[in-house]
Every structure is written in structure tokens, then in C-alpha cells.
Structure 1
């Protein structure tokens, strides 16, 4: 029986895109590079398109063919090849975590920067458990209560990445003020606790929180929210777009407009100190 086609995970796509970019920089065609490795062209094409795995040792050999000597680049891509098919803690929740969601969790795990523009909800990495449960239950149209509870657990478990010793990513979250004025019927204290969580998270050295005021001027973020994950070079950034239909990823050079958009959104939002002061005012209003 023939082997099933390999599913292109985000990690494999990132590796393939990086290898393709380095091959192009070296001025080599697929056939020339494959011949130098003793392969046929289709094999390298499949590696670059993420439909075939590659061993870390072969990544090193391929980088030598491309003339890449930078140890940081070599280590990063060899590690990515080593981890491409690795199972993460989220596999325990495979019954409720879709492949696209699992891909995103692996992105968070590998990222060194996470930039989130959230016009409608608080970013998942900064949510309280109660907020997570209510928002997941409110958004879903088909999840049973036990699945909602499991997804909330996953969201809480994801937050460990922000306090990971030595390798925690830098997170910059910009949240629209309208998202912080939402009402929660199940527990009246949900939003107050969530606002306190944002203030506490902002004390972390790797977390920055900004607020987009209700009376802001127009900016690129009015088109919709997105999360931009960045990685050590030469790996390209990846953008996550979400809607009711699921998750869409924008990778490589196509992510550049989102990087520029985030800078403009950041410039339009309240300064960090003013943002935290406004969040503190909102939190205090829930105590009255």
C-alpha cells in the first residue's frame, strides 16, 4: 500500500519557504540544487512545498550547498526540521483542537514575537478562564458544553508560553476599547477580572498592552483583526486571520503588509501609559 501524502504543517511550510528563499538567494534552480544533493528535482520541490519531510542532517547539507555558514540560521532550520512532526501538549485535546488551531499553537510555541491587533476580543494569551469560557460559548454554534470547557483549558494552557524561562516571546497586544466594554451575563465580575488580568499581564517584562480608543482616527485595523508571529531569521513571519469559517495563514512576503499595518495601528492607539490608565479606570468602574 502506498504511503499517505504528508500533511503540510505550518512548521514544514516555514521550513520549506526558508529553504526556497535561500536557494533563490544562491541563484540555484531546483534541478541544480537537487543534483548537488544527489536527489531528483521533484524531491526538493516537495520539501519546499512541505509535502515531503527532510532530515535535520540533510538540511545542514543543503545549507552547505547554498553557501549558508551562519550557525544561527543553520541551527534554527535544523531544529525546525527536527520539530516539524513533533507532537505537542495540545495533541491531548485532538478531539476539539482542529489541525489549523494545532498549527497556530505550534507557531506560538516557536515564535520570538507575537503582535496581536484585537478589535473585538481580548487576545487568547491574555484571557482569564471565565472570559475564555464565555467568549468561546458565545462564538460557537455547534460546540457541546464539555467541548467549550476543553477549549477554554487549551486557551489557558497556551498562556504558559509567556512565562517560559529564557525563551518567552515578546508580545505586543493592541485591543480596541469596545472589546473591553462588553457585557457578560453569566458572571457580572467576568469583565472586571479580565481588566485586572490585562493590568497584571502588562507588568510582565515581555508583554506590552495598548488600547485603541473609541474616538480613534481611521487606521488599517478597521479592516479586521490579525495576529503576526515573528521568528528568528531566516524564517518568515506568519499572520493568522480568523473568522467563522476557520483560520487562514498568510506567510512569507505576503505578511509584509500586516507588519506595516501593525505599526500604523500602534501609532494610532493610546500610548502605553495612557492605555493602562484607561484600563484601570474601566476596571474601577466595575467595582461601583
Structure 2
């Protein structure tokens, strides 16, 4: 029986992208690098394009060929090679979690920091259960109430990255002020509770929240929202773009413009202090 084709998960793509970058940094062609460890060029090409898996021991050999002896880099790539096809807790929800969403949760769980520009909705890592259910139900056109509830559970479970042992995720979230004016007819207290959740989460040392004011000047964020994920070990960042069709990924050198864009967006937004004061003012207004 022939082997099943390798599914290019986001972890495998990140591994391939990093190996290609390190090979290019070493000034080696595919054939040169492959020959150095007794392979053919096409095999290494398939690994770099995420169409073939690679053993952790071979990763270490390649890094040695590329002249890399940074233990942090080796650890990061070794982990990716071991976990490329590993299933996570979200597989329990495979009936409602699409492959592209599973890829995103995997990426989020591996990241050390995420810079999120969210012009239309509060980021999932900062949502309350009620806000999550209301928005999931509102944007979907085919989910049953049971599936909506399951997806809301997944969204809340993702938030554990903010309190995970060792290295909790660093989150810098910039939210457009217009998002905080959303109303929920059936559950009028939803936004009040969500505003309180933003204030409480912003007290965490690894979470920063800014608001983009309604009267802001032009900035790169008007082109749409995105999440920029960064990783340990000189691993290339990954940008996630979401739309009604699912998630799309921008990786490697193509992610660089998003880093500059986020810097411009951050400079245009209210300061952290003014942002939290505005959120507190809105939360107080919801109490009246």
C-alpha cells in the first residue's frame, strides 16, 4: 500500500521556510546542501516546500552544514520536526474545527508573541464566553446551536496560552474603538462584561491593549486586520489573515511589511494609558 501523502501543516511549512532561509543565508543551492548530507536536491526541495517530512536528526545535520550552532535554533526546529504531525487538544473538536482553524490554533500555541490588529472584532484571546457565542452565531451561516457552543468553547480554551507555564504568550492587541460600540439585543450586558474583561486582561504583564480612536488619521490598518506571530530561535514570523473563507498565511520574507505596518498602527493608536481610560469610561457608561 502506498504511503499517505504528507499534509503540509502550518508547523511543517514553518519548518520548511526556516530551513530554506538558513540555507540561503549559508549561500548554498539546493543541490549543494542536499549533496552535503547524501541526498538529492528534489528531496530537500520537498522538505522546504512542506511536502515531505524530515527527522529531527536530519534537521540537526542540515543546521550543522549551514554552520548554525545556536542551541535555541536547534531546539526550535527539533520541536517543529517532532510535532509537525502531532495532534493537539483541539482535535477533540475536529467536527467543528476546520483544517485552517486547526492550523491557526497550532501556530498560536507555538508562538511566543502575537501582535494583533483587530478593526472589526475583539481578538479571540480577549473574548468573554457570551461575546464569543454571539459573534460566532452572527457570522456563521450554517452552524447549529450545538456547533456554535462548541466553537465558543474552543475560543475560550485557546486563551490558556496567556497563562501557560514557562513562557506565556505576549499579546499586543490594537482594537478599533468602533468595535466596542457593538450591541447585542438579546444579551444587553454582553459588551459591558466584555469591556470589563479587556480591563482585567490588560492588567496581565504579558498583555497590552490599545484602542484606535474613531477620529484617527490614515494608517496601514485601513487595509484590513491581521495577526503577526513570532517564535523562538530566529524562526521567521507568520502573518494570519482571516476572512469568511477561513485563514490565509503569509510567511517568510513576505511577512516583513506587516511588521512595519503594525509599528505604524501602534503609533497612530491611543497610548496604552489613554486606551484603558477610554475603555473604563465606556464600561462605566454601560452600568448606567
TM range (shorter): over 0.9
Alignment of 1:95-134 (within 5 A): 95-134=95-134
Asked if structure 1 preserves the Cα contact closer than 8 Å seen for 2:74 and 2:233, the reply is: no
Structure 1 residue ranges without an equivalent (≥5): none
Q: Counterpart in 2 of 1:137?
A: 137
Worse overlay, 154-163 or 63-72: 63-72
Worse overlay, 28-37 or 186-195: 28-37
Distance 1:2 1:42 in 2: 19
Alignment of 1:176-215 (within 5 A): 176-215=176-215
Cα deviation for residue 233 of structure 1 reads: 3.3
Cα deviation for residue 234 of structure 1 reads: 2.3
Q: Counterpart in 2 of 1:89?
A: 89
Task: String of CA shifts for 1:216-247, please: whole Å, max 9, x gaps.
Answer: 11111111111110112321111111111211
Distance 2:222 2:282 in 1: 23
Distance 2:189 2:24 in 1: 55
Distance 2:282 2:275 in 1: 11
Distance 1:172 1:264 in 2: 14
Alignment of 1:1-288 (within 5 A): 1-288=1-288
Distance 1:165 1:74 in 2: 22
* TM superposition score normalised by structure 1: 0.98
Asked if structure 1 preserves the Cα contact closer than 8 Å seen for 2:75 and 2:233, the reply is: no
Cα deviation for residue 13 of structure 1 reads: 0.6
Structure 1 stretches (4+) deviating beyond 2 angstroms? none
Distance 2:213 2:28 in 1: 50
Structure 2 residue ranges without an equivalent (≥5): none
CA RMSD in angstroms, aligned pairs only: 0.8
Cα deviation for residue 2 of structure 1 reads: 1.7
Task: String of CA shifts for 1:156-183, please: whole Å, max 9, x gaps.
Answer: 0000000112211110000001000000
Distance 1:272 1:263 in 2: 14
